[in-house]
A and B are shown apart, each in its own frame.
Chain A
Amino acid sequence: MTVEFMDTLTSYIASLRRQGKPLLSPPLHWTILSNGAADLHDCIIIFVFEANKTQPALVVKVPRLPEDGLALQLEYDRLVELWEHLGPYAAFRVPEPVAMLTLGAQPAFVISYIHGESLLRASRRKIWGKPEKVYSLAIDAAEFLRDIVDRTATQLQVGENVPTDILKKIEKFREMYHFTEREDQALEGLIKNIESMRRRSTHKALIQGDFWHGNMIRNSSHGGLMLVDWQYSRWSTDVSLDVYLFLLAGALASAPQFPFEERARGAMEVLLQWRPRIIPDYLQAFGKPDQCTLMPARYGMLLCCVEKAVRASMDLGFDQVNDLIWRLLFAELVNLSDESEFYNEI
C-alpha cells in the first residue's frame, strides 16, 4: 500500500483501547468526504468503518492546512470539558471526543459518528416554509440549549474575568463596512448593552458559538437533537449568541437565496412572520437564564450579525463573500421601523 497518511491514521485508530479492549474491530476501512469543495481552510472528513460494518464508527476531521489545526484543538478541548460537565448524558447530546492527533505534521481530530439525519440537508424540504415544523424544531432547540447552559453554568471566581473579544469584533465590523448614522447608533447601543451585561454577570457557561440548524443532527436511535461542530465554542457570561443565531440562521434559510439583498430582506420578512408566535415561544422555552445573561433581542440579534460578519476575516485572515449577508441582515434589523413593535417585550 502506498497510502501513508491513511495507513498511519487507521493504524493509530486501530490501536485505541477502552477499558483494556480495542475500541474498534480491525481491519478498518475509510471513506473521504471532501467537505467544503476546495476551500483550503475547511477540513476534510474521514469516515472510519469497522470490519464488515456498513455505517461508520468514527469521524476524523483533518484540516487541509496544518496551520488550521488550532481550531480543531480548541474544539477537542471544549468537547472534553463539555463531556466532563454533562457526564453520561453527553452521549445523547454531542459527539464524543476520542483523540486529537498529530500524524507527521498533519493534525487530525477523532470523534464518534452520530447516526441520524442532518438538519442542514433535511430541513430544506421538511422544515422551512412549514410553520408547525419550524415551531417544533425551535422549541426543541431552545430546550436543548437551555439544558446545555444549565449543565455547564459555573460561578465566577472572585476577580475572574472571562475573556471576550466582542469589542474587537465590533471594531473590525466598523473597519470592514460603511454605516449609516442609525446603524452607528445601534452599534453604540450594542456596546453599552454588552458592558452592562458584563457588569451583571455572576456565572459563565459553555456556549457553542455556532448554534444553527446546520450543526444539528436528529439522532436515529433516540430521536433527540445532537449538536456537532464545536470549534467556535467558548466560555461566556452571556448566552445571546447561541440563542439568537438559531433564529437568524433559520430565517436566512427560509428566504430566497440570491441576490444577497433580497435574501436579507426575505429573512427579515420571515422573522416578522415568526414574531407573533414562534419567536416568543422559542424564547420562553429557553427561559430567563438564572445565572448567565441574555441580551434583549434588539441587541442579541445584532451581536450575531457582527460575530458572523467578521468571523472569517478575523479567524482566517480573509473575507468570505457569503459573510456579506450578515452585514445586510444587520441593516435590516437596525432599519426596522419603530412602529413595527418587533422588539417589544423580547
Chain B
Amino acid sequence: MESKYRSETSFQHSLPKSSSDWRFLLPITENSRVLIIGGEQDDFTDLFNKIGVSSVTWLCNPSAVAGELNENNQNYFDIVALPFGFPAAKLTDEIEVFRTVRRLLHPGGSIFLGFSNKLGLFRKAFIANSYQSTPHHVIRHLRLSGYSDIDLYGVMSNLETPEYIFPLKADLLGFTLQHRYRYLLPARLLHYFSSRPLVSIVLYLLSYYFVIAKSNHTPETNL
C-alpha cells in the first residue's frame, strides 16, 4: 500500500557522525595537505573538499600511523589531525607517536590532537580509540618530541561532537559553564561552580582537550 507520507528513508541525513569544527582552530588553506586519523567513518574528506581543500587523506586506524610513514610522505603533510587521539598503552608511547607524526609533517606543520584527561571530572565511559593522558604530560611530551607553539583548548562535553571549544582561560570556562548549565542548575549553585577561584582549578580537570602544536623547523634527520 502506498504510504501517505514519503518514507523516512527518503530523508537524507545531513549529519555526519563526527563534528569537524576543530578545523577552525587550524591553519588550513586550499593548498594544505591534511591527514586525518581516526573515527569510525570518513566524515571528513567530503567536508574538506567542500571547503576547497582537495588534498585530504583519511586513515581509519590510529594504530597504523607508523605504517603511513614511507619515503613518499615524509615531511609531506601540513596538518596531521587525530581528533579522537590514539590508543597508547603507556605514556612513553605518546612520544613515539608524536615523533612519528612529526616525520609526516613538513617543518612548521601542525599536529592536532584530541584526548581525554585521566584526571578529568565527570569523564564518560572509555571510548574505543580514545586517548587518555593529562594536559601536563601531553605538553611535556610534545616539547620533547620536537614541537613548539603549543596551544591547549578545553572541550565540552565530548570529542566527537563537542558543544564548546575554548582556549584555557578561567573566564571563558566560567562563561561556558554558565551558558551550558543555566537552565539545568539552580542559579546559586551555578554561580558558585562558575566562580573564578573554582574554575581556575577546574581548567585542568576538564574531561576533554584539544591540543595544537607546530613541528619545529629542524629536518627529521636531526632528530
| Chain A residues with a Cβ under 8 A of chain B | 1-6, 29-34, 37-41, 44, 47, 49, 52-56, 62, 64-67, 104-106, 121-122, 124-125, 176-178, 180, 316, 318-321, 324, 327-328
Contacts and interface: CB of A to CB of B under 8 A. Distances in A.
Contact of B51 (A1, A47, A49, A65): A65
A106 B53 CA distance: 13
B171 A54 contact: yes
Contacts, number: 131
A341 B176 CA distance: 49
Interface residues on B, range: 35 or more
B126 interface: no
Interface string B18-60: 1111001111111000000000000100010011100000000
Given A3-B212, A55-B175, A178-B4, A30 B166 contact: yes
B151 interface: yes
A176 B10 CA distance: 10
Nearest to B18: A38
Contacts of A39: 14-15
A321 B21 CA distance: 23
Interface in B142-158: 149, 151
Interface centre among A2, A33, A44, A52 (most CB of B within 10 A): A2
A37 B175 contact: no
A29 B171 contact: yes
Contacts of B162: 34
B122 interface: no
Contacts of B17: 38
B192 to A, nearest CB: 15
Contact of A32 (B8, B43, B165, B175): B165
Contacts of A124: 183
Contacts of A49: 171-172, 175
A319 B179 CA distance: 30
B166 A34 contact: no
A29 B110 contact: no
B166 A38 contact: no
A321 B10 CA distance: 9
Given A3-B25, A32-B166, A34-B163, A318 B12 contact: yes
B164 A37 contact: no
B216 to A, nearest CB: 13
Contact of B175 (A6, A54, A67, A122): A54
Contacts of A327: 5
A33 B14 contact: no
A245 to B, nearest CB: 22
A215 to B, nearest CB: 16
B11 A321 contact: yes
B106 interface: no
A65 B171 contact: no
A94 to B, nearest CB: 21
A4 B11 contact: no
Given A6-B24, A38-B17, 15 more contacts: A3-B151, A29-B167, A32-B21, A32-B24, A32-B166, A39-B15, A40-B14, A49-B172, A65-B51, A66-B51, A178-B2, A318-B11, A321-B13, A324-B11, A327-B5
Nearest to B27: A4
A6 B27 CA distance: 9
B172 A31 contact: yes
Nearest to A56: B175
A320 B14 contact: yes
B140 interface: no
15 contacts: A2-B25, A2-B213, A3-B25, A4-B28, A5-B24, A31-B166, A32-B21, A34-B21, A44-B21, A49-B171, A49-B175, A64-B47, A106-B51, A121-B182, A178-B2
A30 B167 contact: yes
A67 B51 CA distance: 8
B5 A37 contact: no
A60 to B, nearest CB: 11
B27 A67 contact: no
B174 interface: yes
B3 interface: yes
